[in-house]
Structure 1
Amino acid sequence: MNELHRQALALPRQPGVYIMKDAQNNIIYIGKAKALKNRVSQYFGSDAGQSEKVRRMVSKVERFEYIVTDNEFEALVLECSLIKQYSPKYNILLKDDKGYRYIRISPPPFPQISVALQKREDGSRYLGPYISGYVVKEAVDEANRIFQLPVCGRALGAGRKERPCLNFYIHRCCAPCSGKVSEEEYNERVEQAIEFLTRGSVEVLSSLTRQMNEAAENLEFEKAARLRDRINAIKKLGEKQKVVRSKVKNQDVIALARSGKGIFFEIFRFKKG
C-alpha cells in the first residue's frame, strides 16, 4: 500500500471536493465525491478498470487536499467554482470520458436549462463537464424550481398563448408558453439561475436583494414580491448547505503545521462568505 492510498483511507466518509497536486504543487485535477474516503482511495488502490487517461493523471499526483461539504449539491457548486478558477490540466483532458454530464442552456429565444450527456455544436451554451449525473440533475432541478423555469418541453416563443400547465398554478413555472412573462424578464430569470449554478447562493442573494429593493423603491411591488420569493427559496436551500459559515465575509486564514523538521503553510482566502 503506497502512502497516498494510506492517506486516502484516512479521509472522512462525507461529501466534499478533492484537489490533486503534482510535484511542483500545481493543481492538476479537481473532483467531488459523495464519500471522500471511498472516491479518493479508488485512485490509489488497484488501477484495474481505470482508463489510460486516469492512470496517467494518478501517476503525476504527489499530494492531495480536500474540503468537506454538507451535501453533494454544495460539493458540485464548489467543484465548478474551483475548476473555473484553476482550469486543472486533467479536468480538461478527462472531460470526454464516459459518465460525465453537462448543464445545457438552449439557444434563445426563451432558453431552457437541462442536463446533457454530450456537448454538441447546436448553438447551446454548456457548463461542465461534471462527474455525477445525479447531482447535476439535482442542481438543475433546484435552479429551475427556484427561478420558476419551464421543464415540460413545450415550444416557447413570443406571442404564444397556450393554456398553462399545473406547474404554473403551484408556482413552479412562470408559464412563458402562455405569455405570462416577458422575454426580458424570462432571460433575467435564466441568467440568475446560471449564476446560482456557477457561483453559488451568496452572489445571487446579493444581486436579488439589490434588485428587490430597487423594485420596491420604484413602486414595482409585484416584481419585488417575485424577487422576495426567489430570495426565500434560496435561503431555505442554504439552510441545508454550507462550506464556511462566518460573520466575516472577507477573510484570509493562514494554517500552520509542523512535521519533523518541516513546517507547512496553507493560505485560504474567503470572499463574500
Structure 2
Amino acid sequence: MQKQSSYRQSGGCLYLVPTPIGNLEDITLRALRLLKEVDYILAEDTRQTIKLLNHFEITTKLYSFHEHSRQEEVERHIENLAAGQTIALVSDAGMPLINDPGHPLVQAALSRDLLVVGLPGANAALTALITSGLSAERFTYYGFFPRQTKEQQALLALVGEREETAIFYESPYRLKQTLAAMAKVFRLDTPIVVAREISKQYEEYLRGSLEELYAYFQNHTVKGEIVLLVEGLAKARAEDAASISALPLKEQVERVMEEHHLSPKEAIKQVAKTQGLRKQDVYQAYHGE
C-alpha cells in the first residue's frame, strides 16, 4: 500500500500538467504558475509546447520526452526528482498520458515513493461527452478506433454488449471506414455524435443516427481532430430482442436480417440462439417447411 500526501511542501515532485486542446484560454492559473516555477518541463513535442510557453512568456527550460525516450532518460529524471527538483510533464494538447507517452516516468517515480501530482484541465473526450447530448452518467473511453479488421470486430462486439456511452478518438481520414464498420454491427438508428476541433475556431458537433451520419459523410469531407461517441447499445438491444421475440419465427428472422444486415443463414442462427431453439426448427419456420 502506498499513501500520498499531494501537498507536502518538501522534496521533488512530478507534475502532470494539462495544456489547452485549442483555445489557449483553457489553461488554468495553477498550470501557468507551475510551468513557471518548476525546474524544467518535459514535452512530447517541444516544437508545439514552445508555442504555448512563448505565448505566456514562460522561460522555463524545456526538454523532449516521448515514446522513444530511453530508459536512461527516465532514470536521469527520477534521480533529479529524488534530489529535490520539480518537473512538469505536458502533452501536445490536453491531459498527459491520455494517448500520450509518460507512463514509464510516472511508474518509475511511484516505485521510488516520489511525489506525482496531476492537475485537472482540458480533455477532448470529456468535453465532447458533456456536450454530446448522450448519457454522461456512465461511459467508457476506448482511445483510437483500431485499424485491423479483427480488432475492430472484437471491440464492436464488446461495445454492443455495454450500456454506457462509448467514446473513441478517430482520424478524419478514417471516419467513413469506422462508421461503415459500425453500420455492419450496430442498429442503424443508434444515436451517434461526431465532435471535431473541440475548443478551436471551427468546433462542430454532428448529432444523429448512425444511418444519418454514415450517409452524410459519404458526401462530405471532414477535417481536424475527431471524437466519436456512440450511445450505449445493450439496453436498446434488449428492448429490441423482447419486441422481436413476440413475432412469429419467420418474421423474427426477417427483422434480424433487416436490422443487422445478415444473410438468412446468419439470422436463423441468431434467432435460434436468442430463443433457445434448434436451428433446424427456425430454418423450417422461415422456409415454410
Give me the TM-score of the superposition, normalised by structure 2. 0.28
Higher relative contact order (CA 8 A, sep 6+): 2
* Greater Rg by CA: 2
